[in-house]
Amino acid sequence: MDLGIAGRKAIVCASSKGLGRACARALAEAGCALVLNGRDKEVLSRTATELRQATGVEIHEVPGDLDNPATRTELIAACPDADILVNNNGGPPHQAFGEITRETVLKGIESNMLTPIALVQALAPGMVERKFGRIINITSSSVRAPIAGLDVSSGARAGLTAFLASAARLFARDNVTINSIQPGSFDTDRAIAGLSRAAAQRGVSVDAARTDAKARIPAGRFGDPAEFGALCAFLASAHAGFITGQNILIDGGGFPGAF
């Protein structure tokens, strides 16, 4: 399928690795020019080089911490007329409920709610004016079904979801959509770190923890980041203008509900 977005410009936040990188790759394959971001300059540069070589699209690198307003200003300056914004960021650390502090809650809200909202506020008015915009937020399946230890993540991302629900309807008439993708378990560095922690807690090997985790997913496997990227590119496509304000689970059947 031709996604109809060749030549469009996309800012993909936190995109040097994992799910963000996979979204960047799928958008580049669809012909979008990209602005990529991540804190580690070398990793970012490696990813940008790989994507340039694989797809030939124009790629601008903005290294830096997204939670720093100066990084966000630089991202916006690199592409003030972005057609597509993929909001992604690092996730809050796993933390037992009793260990959560006001500071960790504030940090989670900053990273996973306030930062994406600030980018939407900066970029959506231009999209509305140009009558095309696609905003995709990477949230989590934990917004829909709790995961113990990820309370800060779930709460901050649920806040983002509810906050943007009204804006999604406000901008719909101007062909600007806002949707979230809720990942279950995907094979990324973050997921591997989670497995190592679970293995240490249970006193089993990482391989055993991996086998158990896969067995709990109806699909019997973790998601491939490329599958995530393909969904993101579709939501960013010319064909997805009638989908807005939605939260799309991609979890191999992990969520145990009919709806």
Ligand X SMILES: NC(=O)c1ccc[n+]([C@@H]2O[C@H](COP(=O)([O-])OP(=O)(O)OC[C@H]3O[C@@H](n4cnc5c(N)ncnc54)[C@H](OP(=O)(O)O)[C@@H]3O)[C@@H](O)[C@H]2O)c1
Interface residues toward ligand X, by CB under 6 A: 14-20, 37-40, 43, 65-67, 88-91, 138, 140, 153, 183, 185-186, 188-191
- Least distance from C-beta 86 to ligand X, angstroms? 11
- Least distance from C-beta 12 to ligand X, angstroms? 10
Structure tokens at 144: 């829909």
Q: Which helix (H) or strand (E) holds 34?
A: strand 33-38
Q: Which helix (H) or strand (E) holds 123?
A: helix 115-130
- The counts of H helices and E strands in the chain are 9, 7
Task: Label residues 206-233 b or e (16+ Cβ within 10 Å = b).
Answer: eeebbeebeeebeeeebbebeebbbbbb
- Least distance from C-beta 11 to ligand X, angstroms? 12
Q: Report the alpha-carbon distance of residue 34 to residue 46 in Å, rounded.
A: 14
Close Cβ partners of 232 (under 8 Å, ≥ 6 residues apart): 22, 23, 26, 27, 86, 136, 138, 181
Structure tokens at 61: 């690198």
Nearer to ligand X, 71 or 171 (CB): 71
Q: Are 221 and 214 in contact (CB under 8 A)?
A: yes
- Least distance from C-beta 130 to ligand X, angstroms? 26
- Least distance from C-beta 169 to ligand X, angstroms? 25
Q: Are 238 and 4 in contact (CB under 8 A)?
A: yes
Nearer to ligand X, 55 or 87 (CB): 87
Nearer to ligand X, 91 or 149 (CB): 91
DSSP state letter for 186: B
Beta strands in 125-175 (DSSP E): 133-138
- Least distance from C-beta 17 to ligand X, angstroms? 4
Q: Report the alpha-carbon distance of residue 160 to residue 157 in Å, rounded.
A: 5
Nearer to ligand X, 72 or 171 (CB): 72
Nearer to ligand X, 149 or 183 (CB): 183
Nearer to ligand X, 33 or 138 (CB): 138
